[in-house]
Chains A and B, each alone.
Chain A
Amino acid sequence: MMEQLAKAWQDVLNKRGFEYGLPSDVSTHGFAIDNLITTLHYFMALLFVGWGIYLVYCLVRFREREGHTADVAPQHFSLPKYLEIGVVIFEACLLVFFSYPVWAKLKTDFPDRETSLVVRITAEQFAWNIHYPGKDGKFGKTNIDLIDGTNPVGLDREDPNGKDDIVSINQFNVPVGKPVIVELGAKDVIHGFFLPNARVKHDAIPGMVFPLWFETKETGKFEIACAQLCGVGHYRMKGYFNVLTQEEYDNWILEEEEALKEEGA
């Protein structure tokens, strides 16, 4: 016990583990989100510091002391009104020029399915099942009666479209530079699909399938986190999000296909 405590405090004293700020971003849409977050924080800091200076000034200047009495005459200040209007205009601008366009792009402006990688991600306690359509680009039928330990999404291998499908657990590999469309669902409870490094987050809700999309611009190995409390294993519902070069990705697909064939044989 004392060792672990000592280790934790050693980190504190050595100033390790004190990171902050937005994580690295490999998505093409992330800069808009980051810009908004940054702009907002400058705005918030400006308001807070302004208020703070005013507050401290008042507390010093108008403190109770000998020879000082309060001014009880009715007061009227018009400056706050203009500040208030300024805040309103600024917030309206944030809505119209920052937030609405980003959301509209993410929700309605989907890339072409033909040229994108389409995957189905089905969350369960406590894993991410990633279902790739395989070479034919078509998902095989799924059936919840077929779900078992080796077939987490209940894929019907009898279905011609399902023969070449690849199901990977907790390993989400995507080729860099290619749009990815995720069809997100859940088997049991609500999970939160979160790719911190691609600025992607969406609840996975059982009984519903939500499409979402993103595109990457850099390779790297990252994590999938669960954002929504989903039970005892919520904290270790970790997946791996690997942005590969097209070549690496193709090799991985080949390996998976080989493995499938061996299984079938």
Chain B
Amino acid sequence: MSHHEMPFWKKYIFSTDHKVIGLQYGITATFFLLFGFFLMILMRWQLAYPGVEIPLIGKALTETGALTPELYNALGAMHGTIMIFLGVVPMGVGAFGNYLVPLQVGACDMAFPKLNMMSYWVYFVGGVIMMMSFLMPGGAAASGWTSYPPLSVISNNAQTVWLLSMVFLITSSLLGSVNTIVTAIQLRAKGLNFMRWPIHVWAQVTTAFLLLLAFPPLEGAAILQLADRVFGSSFFLPSGLVVSGEKLGVAGGGNPLLWQHLFWFLAHPEVYVLILPAVGVVCEIVTTNCRKPFYGYKTMVYSILFLGFMSFVVWAHHMFMTGMGVTLSSFFQATTMIISIPSVIILTTILLTLWGASIRFTVPMLFAMAFLPMFAIGGLTGLPLGLTASDIHLHDTYYVIGHFHYVVAPGTLFALMGGVYYWYPKFSGRHMNEFLGKLHFWVSFVAINFVFMPMFLMGSKGVSRRMYDQTQYSYGASTQSWNVVMSTAAFVLLLAQIPFIWNMFTAWKTGKKVQNDNPWEATTLEWAASSPPPHENFPTPVEVYRNPYSYSATTRKVLPQFIPQEG
């Protein structure tokens, strides 16, 4: 199909090309990730040096130059919201899913290109609304990313903006997930049966199903909370509320726990939405850089599917401290232990792939290798939180913060950064600078562990999360120096991203050109297209001849899926 020259705005701004949309998602999400990180740097200053003026920008934020508790709570809520809904999910699902899924199944584009464009722009509008909430009188939403009522319902007006923005973001995810599912299933190249899908496609499709099935309850809940705030309903407000000594004039009769159920019914699958694309990315990087077939492809696929399914029946382990009785908590503890099994299998299969390999230590491989132990820490520390008895002490402490950050930051984000280095030649036809990549990797790897590891130590002492100043408590004061170390490490981690961002932008024009379309000698279909792929990806339809990750038994050479025969 020939395409006439499109005007700039149609080609790069309101594009329906999945690759352009993928990059748009990637760039927007990178901005939000850095912004969310920056919010945390402000908070970390306050945590390390409570009440001390923030250098340079403090005076622009508050009168005294130090964070106020109001601002601290707002930054906390916005850090969580931005990182999850505007950063990591759009990066993992929006950018990687959009760019790679059509290519990896041999499709010309997404099944519904206009829906795809709409998905990005609805996300964009949601992001703009979320950012605008900072300008609300009284500051941004300050009830945590979980927005538990009644606090969220009685809090400042920015909470309404937060809910509106969430409605946009959820709608965007729903549009995107429908597209991914249909594309991956319907637009498969000839010969690409399901068991020939790259693991990344399996991960993205499972993720899409999670989004599709888990997000609607939260969208409904967000609208109910909006009604509570705006129309005076009482879905989440019980009777007899007394706030600051005044009776609250609401109908009452609602239940705050209803929100928690609806919220966590989304937000637990959401954890797997965050992690599965990263697992997919790591599998692709590992098997390519090991120069051998992936160990236990089928085991991996079934584990991902089982994980996806189980993620719908564990949500109430976030609510063990809300008066849960024996029966219900026994069920949710058991499912939580069960869901750890496929996670262990996933990690084990990746590790076993290394056996007998010839490991190339490229920059993406470094990130993938660092992902494994750090994701393992994140997963393992979930165990004490998943059992009610140990959760009594650790629930809502820094231990929880350490746990899920190990999953999402040194886990998912490390994997996705590896993915950027890995597919950059595909996006641009050029390699990113290797020295800057290694610098980025090593400094980040050391710093990030100094940021998150002390959280377990503080949490074990009992330091509660979301505290503006923990030195108010004796055990908070006795662990305060960890905060100084963590904040310093967080700042180093921020600096370590400069070479990465610099590398990402400069390599587009000045990076080393790829030798051929398949510079890593990978096996999957995206490498059949030229680098970068043209509009509509494949000039002639591709055909698939074998499983992914195949190598010739005789020559030990790689056998890409798209090459007809050995030779």
Question: Which A residues fall within an 8 A CB radius of B?
Answer: 1, 4-5, 8-9, 11-12, 15-23, 32-34, 36-37, 40-41, 43-44, 47-48, 51-52, 54-55, 58-59, 62-64, 68-75, 77, 80, 83-84, 87-88, 91-92, 94-95, 98-100, 102-104, 106-108, 124-125, 144-145, 147-149, 154, 187-190, 192, 194, 196, 199-203, 205-208, 210, 223, 225-236, 238
Q: Is the CB of A37 within 8 A of B390?
A: yes
Task: Report B472-512 CB contacts with A as 1/0, cut-off 8 Å.
Answer: 11110111111011000000000000000000000000000
Q: Is the CB of B330 within 8 A of A100?
A: yes
Q: Is the CB of A59 within 8 A of B384?
A: no
Q: Is the CB of B354 within 8 A of A55?
A: yes
Is B356 interfacial (CB-CB < 8 Å)?
Answer: yes
Given A22-B393, A95-B387, list of 13 further CB < 8 A pairs?
Answer: A5-B52, A21-B457, A34-B393, A44-B380, A64-B358, A70-B358, A95-B333, A144-B242, A147-B245, A194-B396, A205-B257, A205-B323, A232-B69
Is B355 interfacial (CB-CB < 8 Å)?
Answer: yes
Contacts of B377 in A (CB 8 A): 48
Q: Is the CB of A206 within 8 A of B238?
A: yes
Contacts of A47 in B (CB 8 A): 376, 380
Contacts of B466 in A (CB 8 A): 229, 234
Q: Is the CB of B472 within 8 A of A236?
A: yes
**Alpha-carbon distance between A77 and B369 when the two chains are bound, in angstroms:** 21
What are 21 pairs between A and B in contact, CB < 8 Å? A17-B479, A51-B376, A55-B351, A55-B372, A55-B373, A70-B356, A72-B292, A72-B293, A72-B553, A87-B341, A95-B333, A99-B389, A147-B245, A189-B150, A190-B256, A192-B321, A196-B393, A200-B392, A229-B151, A231-B155, A234-B466
Is B148 interfacial (CB-CB < 8 Å)?
Answer: yes
Q: Is the CB of B52 within 8 A of A19?
A: no
How far is the CB of A242 from the nearest CB of chain B, in Å? 14
Question: Quick one: which of A44, A70, A87, A145 contacts B381, CB cutoff 8 A?
Answer: A44
Chain A residue at smallest Cβ distance from B477? A17
Closest 4 CB pairs of A and B: A207-B238, A17-B481, A196-B462, A20-B457
How far is the CB of A15 from the nearest CB of chain B, in Å? 8
Q: Is the CB of A188 within 8 A of B243?
A: yes
Is B48 interfacial (CB-CB < 8 Å)?
Answer: yes
Q: Is the CB of A84 within 8 A of B388?
A: no
Question: Quick one: which of B245, B330, B392, B462 contacts A33, CB cutoff 8 A?
Answer: B392
Chain B residue at smallest Cβ distance from A41? B384
Contacts of A231 in B (CB 8 A): 73, 151, 155
**Alpha-carbon distance between A213 and B457 when the two chains are bound, in angstroms:** 27
**Alpha-carbon distance between A154 and B381 when the two chains are bound, in angstroms:** 43
Q: Is the CB of A11 within 8 A of B341?
A: no
Q: Is the CB of A12 within 8 A of B472?
A: no
Q: Is the CB of A84 within 8 A of B553?
A: no
Q: Is the CB of A234 within 8 A of B348?
A: no
Chain A residue at smallest Cβ distance from B239? A207
- Known A55-B351, A107-B325; contact A18-B482, beta-carbon cutoff 8 A: yes
**Alpha-carbon distance between A15 and B345 when the two chains are bound, in angstroms:** 40
Is B347 interfacial (CB-CB < 8 Å)?
Answer: yes
Question: Quick one: which of A18, A43, A103, A227 contacts B388, CB cutoff 8 A?
Answer: A103
- Known A64-B361, A72-B552; contact A1-B479, beta-carbon cutoff 8 A: no
Chain B residue at smallest Cβ distance from A25? B393
Q: Is the CB of B473 within 8 A of A225?
A: yes
Chain A residue at smallest Cβ distance from B334? A95
Question: Quick one: which of B254, B383, B461 contacts A20, CB cutoff 8 A?
Answer: B461
Q: Is the CB of B372 within 8 A of A232?
A: no
Is B247 interfacial (CB-CB < 8 Å)?
Answer: yes
Q: Is the CB of B337 within 8 A of A71?
A: no
**Alpha-carbon distance between A22 and B325 when the two chains are bound, in angstroms:** 26
Contacts of A233 in B (CB 8 A): 69
Is B540 interfacial (CB-CB < 8 Å)?
Answer: no
Is B556 interfacial (CB-CB < 8 Å)?
Answer: yes
Chain A residue at smallest Cβ distance from B69? A232
- Known A72-B293, A103-B389, A201-B392; contact A18-B481, beta-carbon cutoff 8 A: yes
- Known A55-B351, A55-B369, A92-B337; contact A235-B245, beta-carbon cutoff 8 A: no
> Which residues of chain B from 387 to 426 have any CB-CB distance to chain A below 8 Å in the complex?
387-390, 392-397
Question: Quick one: which of A149, A192, A202 contacts B464, CB cutoff 8 A?
Answer: A192
Instruction: Count A-B contacts at CB 8 Å.
Output: 313
Is B545 interfacial (CB-CB < 8 Å)?
Answer: no
Is B357 interfacial (CB-CB < 8 Å)?
Answer: yes
Q: Is the CB of A72 within 8 A of B49?
A: no
Is B61 interfacial (CB-CB < 8 Å)?
Answer: no
How far is the CB of B558 from the nearest CB of chain A, in Å? 9
Q: Is the CB of A227 within 8 A of B52?
A: no
**Alpha-carbon distance between A236 and B474 when the two chains are bound, in angstroms:** 12
Contacts of A228 in B (CB 8 A): 148, 396
How far is the CB of B193 from the nearest CB of chain A, in Å? 19
Is B203 interfacial (CB-CB < 8 Å)?
Answer: no
Q: Is the CB of A59 within 8 A of B256?
A: no
Chain A residue at smallest Cβ distance from B464? A227
- Known A17-B479, A188-B150; contact A75-B352, beta-carbon cutoff 8 A: yes
Residue among A48, A148, A234 having the largest count of chain B Cβ atoms under 10 Å = A234
Q: Is the CB of A19 within 8 A of B348?
A: no
**Alpha-carbon distance between A232 and B77 when the two chains are bound, in angstroms:** 12
Q: Is the CB of B359 within 8 A of A59?
A: yes
Is B566 interfacial (CB-CB < 8 Å)?
Answer: no
Q: Is the CB of A33 within 8 A of B479?
A: no
Contacts of B472 in A (CB 8 A): 235-236, 238
- Known A37-B393, A80-B352, A234-B467; contact A149-B245, beta-carbon cutoff 8 A: yes
**Alpha-carbon distance between A203 and B323 when the two chains are bound, in angstroms:** 7
**Alpha-carbon distance between A202 and B329 when the two chains are bound, in angstroms:** 14
Contacts of A41 in B (CB 8 A): 384
Is B27 interfacial (CB-CB < 8 Å)?
Answer: no
Contacts of B373 in A (CB 8 A): 48, 51-52, 55
Chain A residue at smallest Cβ distance from B558? A72
- Known A17-B477, A44-B380, A73-B553; contact A37-B394, beta-carbon cutoff 8 A: yes
Q: Is the CB of A62 within 8 A of B355?
A: yes
Chain B residue at smallest Cβ distance from A211? B323
Q: Is the CB of A203 within 8 A of B383?
A: no
Contacts of A235 in B (CB 8 A): 69, 467-470, 472
**Alpha-carbon distance between A203 and B324 when the two chains are bound, in angstroms:** 10
Q: Is the CB of B52 within 8 A of A4?
A: yes
**Alpha-carbon distance between A43 and B344 when the two chains are bound, in angstroms:** 14
Task: Report B530-567 CB contacts with A as 1/0, cut-off 8 Å.
Answer: 00000000000000000000011100100000000000
